[in-house]
Each structure stands twice: as structure tokens, then as C-alpha cells.
Amino acid sequence: MGRRLISSGSPFEAEIGYSRAVVEDGWVFVAGTTGFDYATMEISEDVTAQAEQTFCNIDKALREAGASMANVVRVRYILPDGADWEACWPVTRAWLGEVRPAATMIIAALQDPRMKIEIEVTARLPGEA
């Protein structure tokens, strides 16, 4: 299986030089993803809404790759403000509560001050061993 690149259509991908996701050797690596609605390039001010949109963006990339949230084995959460983390728990539980991947939460500044959460996942394609 060769390398396949997946784009969300976000202008950030072309400007910075990355792909929303890369599929290779049975794995799907989804780049750090934020709560922008890529169709409108708008982002909510609410961290919970951003978390939900972020998972929608990740889900779309995974589906295009041939995987789903059920195939996620690793997740990294990055938030500029650790106080925002607990407000995201209901969203993370809704998307990954049954999957329970290995997870890390990091507090770090993000590229755009409007961004309140960034999420990165790694998934295994179904049927790959």
C-alpha cells in the first residue's frame, strides 16, 4: 500500500506544507486539527464548540482514509489554557468514550489565538494487523 495524502481544503495546509492526514502501511496519521469550519474558515469562541468541530473535522479525514473514530489508537489534546480542558470532557467522551485510545493532554500556545484546542489522532485501518 502506497502513501496517500488527504486534504481538508484548509488554506493552512498549502500555506504551511502539510496534509490533514497521511495514510501509510495500514495507519492513518491525522495532523493536529482545530475547530475551524473549513468550508467557511470560521471558528467559534467557545472551547466546547471548537472541540466538537475539531472531532467532526477529524472524523471526516478518517472516513476519507477508510477508517473511523472506532479505529483511533492514540490521541493528543493541546490546549493553550488548561482551565478549558474539563469543559471538553463531555465532547471527548462522546467521540472516544467507547474507544478509549491512549491519550495525552498538553498545555501549549497554538498558532492562532482564536484556537482553544487542537487534537491529533493516529488510527489503524480496519483489517490491518
100 or 11, which is more confident? Answer: 100
pLDDT of 81 over the 80 cut? yes
Cα distance between residue 11 and residue 100, in whole Å: 31
| CATH number (domain holding residue 58) | 3.30.1330.40
CA distances from 78 to 15, 27, 58, 67, 71 (A): 21, 22, 15, 23, 21
Q: Model-level pTM?
A: 0.93
Range of the domain at 52: 4-124
* Total domains in the fold of the chain: 1
Q: Quote the mean pLDDT of the chain.
A: 94
Q: Is 129 domain-assigned?
A: no
Q: Can you tell me whether residue 118 is helix, strand or coil?
A: strand
